[in-house]
Amino acid sequence: MLPEPQSPSTHLREGDLSDAELAVELAGTAGRTLLELRAGVGNLPTDEVKKRGDEAAQQVLAAGLAQARPRDAVLSEEAVDDAARLDAARVWIIDPLDGTREYSEGRSDWAVHVALWEAGALVAGAVALPGLGTVLTTEPAAVVPSRDGAAPLRMAVSRSRPPAIATGVAEALGADLVAMGSAGFKVAAVVRGEADLYVHGGGQYEWDSAAPVAVAMAAGLHASRLDGSPLRYNQPDPYLPDLVVCRPEVAEQVLTAIERVQRDVQ
C-alpha cells in the first residue's frame, strides 16, 4: 500500500504568510509528500507512479491555496482550466510535479513549481527541488555564484530529447552541454551556478516556466522568449513554447546566437 499523502498544510490561514512565504511552504510540502509517496511505491509501473505523484502534489497545492488565498484564481497543469482566471487580479500558476519521468525513475532532477501572477507580472514564486532538499524562492532571492569568464559556457539541456535550437546554439557558442531532467530543474541549475544558460524551443506551457522564471528574475538573471521579447503569463491560451534563461552578462551573446541559428534553419 502507498502511504497516504501528507496533510496539505491544514495549519494555513489567510494572511499568516506573505505570498513568497506561502509559495515556499506549499512547494516544500508538496515536495515532501512526493518523496514519501515515492518511497512506498514498491514495484508499481512507472505510469502509475507518475499518476499518483501528480494527483498527490495537486491535492496539496490546491488545498493549501484554497485555505490561504481563497479569493485567488489558480492555473494548474493538473486541473481543468477556468476562464474566470482571465478576469482575476491574482492568479497562482502551478506545476505540481515538473519532471514526472525523472520522478518515476527515482532521480533527483524534478521540481515543484508555485508562482503568483498579479496585474500582468510574476510577483512571487518558489521552486522546490525535493531531490536536493532545497527550495529556491523570490524572497529572499537566490545569490547566483560567480563564474570563470574564461571558461566555456555551460548549457542546461534535456537528457532525453534536447531541442535542435538548443544544440545549435550550444555549437554556436562553443558551450558545453549539461544534461538533466525537468525544465524547472534546468532553470534552477542556472540560478545555482551549475549552468550558465538554458534555451528551450517548443512544447512548454505557462506552468512549466512561471515559478522558475520568477525565481531566476528575482536573482537578477535574464529571462525572455527566444526573440528577446517578454514572457507573458495568464494568457487565454497557456501555451508558452520557448524560453531562454541565462546569466545577464552573456544575454546579448546568447540572443545573438539564437537569432543566427534560427535564421540559418529557415
Q: Identity (one letter) of the amino acid at 37?
A: L
Q: Is the bond leading into 241 cis (omega within 30 degrees of zero)? A: no
Helix (H, G, I), strand (E, B) or coil at 176: strand
Rounded to a whole number of angstroms, the CA Rg of the chain reads 18
Question: Which residue in this structure is represented by grid cell 500500500?
Answer: 1
Distance separating alpha carbons of residues 135 and 138, to the nearest angstrom: 10
208 is in an annotated binding site: yes
What single-letter DSSP state applies at residue 229? P
Helix (H, G, I), strand (E, B) or coil at 10: coil
| CA angle (7, 129, 233) in 5-degree steps | 90
Distance separating alpha carbons of residues 205 and 237, to the nearest angstrom: 9
109 is in an annotated binding site: no
Cell numbers that stand for 196 in this block:
550558465
95 is in an annotated binding site: yes
197-201 and 121-129 beta bridge pairing: unpaired
264 is in an annotated binding site: no
Contact between 131 and 107 (Cβ < 8 Å): yes
Distance separating alpha carbons of residues 183 and 127, to the nearest angstrom: 11
Find the length of the chain: 266
Chain centre to alpha carbon of residue 135: 11
77 is in an annotated binding site: yes
Please report, in range form, the residues annotated as the binding site for Mg(2+): 77, 95, 97-98, 208
Please report, in range form, the residues annotated as the binding site: 77, 95, 97-98, 208
